[in-house]
A = this chain, B = another copy of it.
Amino acid sequence: MSISHRARPEIQAMAGYQPGEQPAPGQRVIKLNTNENPYPAPEVVLAAIREQVAGPALRRYPVPDARPVREAAARAYGLEPDQVVVGNGSDDLLTMLLRTFVAPGAKVVAPAPTYSLYGTLTAIQGGTYREVPWGVGGSLLIRAIADADPALVLITRPNAPFGFACGLDQVSALCRAVDAPVVLDEAYADFADDNGLSLLADHPNLIVTRSFSKGFSLAGLRLGLGFAHPEAAAQLHKVRDSYNVDALAQAAATAALDNLDAYRPNLDAVIGERTRLAAALRERGLGVAESQANFLFARVPDGDGRPWYEALKARGVLIRYFPEPEELADGLRISVGTPEENDALLAALDAVSAG
């Protein structure tokens, strides 16, 4: 008999988070299912990584607190290094946030639909996860969240999987309404018209997280940033693994943050294709909401996304389909790819429609 019966009951009872499928190395697919950037990182970032591979960095421990990255982030965004925490992906920052603020039995509240990892992370902490529908809207939504007495609030902005960005005034009002950390998960902010960093000065309970996996074309390296009041950041550092961000990732992150302009053509290309793809999908009868992210949520006319997902997969096009909750089951979440990838998706959709 194994020792798994000694695992905490919460862990035994849970299923674990299921990330979107990754094709096997070498498998030829049009991959529009996990919101990666279709363009490579700029040469200046790749060069920074290659330089580390050539030197002594691989055999030495990295800078434990990623100070050079934090300084670069502070320069890039007009903040102070002690407001910045670096994570092994923004998932690592979410883990730190839950471990810091969520005791057993404490409540985590999120407007939904949202990133399904939040529930998993809450379960690991032995906390209670409660979703409030975005549809409640406005001041009623804020009151519903505050009335739930949260230990932590999590807002994805732009939203996943719908892509809309709630008003920044709504984020401010929520920060004022709760005596708890409000986490603004800005994984997709690089594709949006605005973001919440400017709210940090007025709201000491606001914590903003960012990912390098979408806008920065570095999903393979695992990098995320957290921005918080210095005192809150200091608590997060305590639960951070001592050397959580490796030396190559630190070099890449520093180069990326010091060369934000080099990313502009990639971002503009994705944003342009987002507009074109949304129009093309609507022409084909799918219901596509406005998106501030690098994906579109497209509702199929016949109310069931699964056969579309499967037919597209059979034609070598991977998109994301969520069987649950029910409000997502008529939709396809489609990452915005290169023009060629998007054309391939549209051609596959036409072939599926033609039966």
Contact = CB atoms under 8 A, between A and B. Distances in A.
Interface of A: 1-4, 6-8, 11-12, 14-17, 19-20, 22, 25, 31, 34, 36-41, 46, 49-50, 52-53, 56-64, 68, 88-89, 91-92, 95, 99-104, 117, 124, 126, 151, 179-181, 204-205, 207, 213, 217-222, 229-232, 234-235, 237-239, 241-249, 252
9 contacts: A2-B232, A4-B232, A6-B151, A31-B60, A38-B59, A58-B217, A62-B220, A117-B242, A221-B246
Nearest to A104: B104
Contacts of A17: 242
A34 B61 contact: yes
B37 A59 contact: yes
Contacts of A50: 50, 53
Contacts of A238: 11, 14-16, 124
Among A6, A15, A62, A230, max chain B CB count under 10 A is at A6
A220 B247 contact: yes
Contacts of A249: 246
Given A53-B49, A241-B91, A59 B217 contact: yes
Copies of this chain, complex-wide, total: 2
Contact of A36 (B60, B63, B104, B151): B60
A118 to B, nearest CB: 13
A151 B39 CA distance: 48
Contacts of A220: 52, 57-62, 246-248
B40 A59 contact: yes
A91 to B, nearest CB: 5
Contacts of A11: 99-100, 235, 238-239
A99 B124 contact: yes
A103 to B, nearest CB: 5
Given A6-B179, A60-B219, 19 more contacts: A3-B231, A4-B232, A6-B101, A7-B235, A8-B100, A11-B100, A19-B64, A19-B242, A22-B60, A25-B68, A36-B60, A61-B220, A62-B220, A89-B244, A91-B241, A103-B104, A124-B239, A219-B243, A220-B248
Nearest to A52: B220
Contact of A219 (B1, B59, B217): B59
A241 B207 CA distance: 20
B242 A91 contact: yes
B34 A56 contact: no
A91 B243 contact: yes
B91 A4 contact: no
A256 to B, nearest CB: 11
A52 B37 CA distance: 17
A235 to B, nearest CB: 4
Top 6 nearest A-B pairs (CB, nearest first) are: A220-B247, A2-B231, A16-B238, A2-B229, A3-B205, A4-B231
A58 B50 CA distance: 12
A62 to B, nearest CB: 6
Contacts of A243: 19, 89, 91, 219, 222
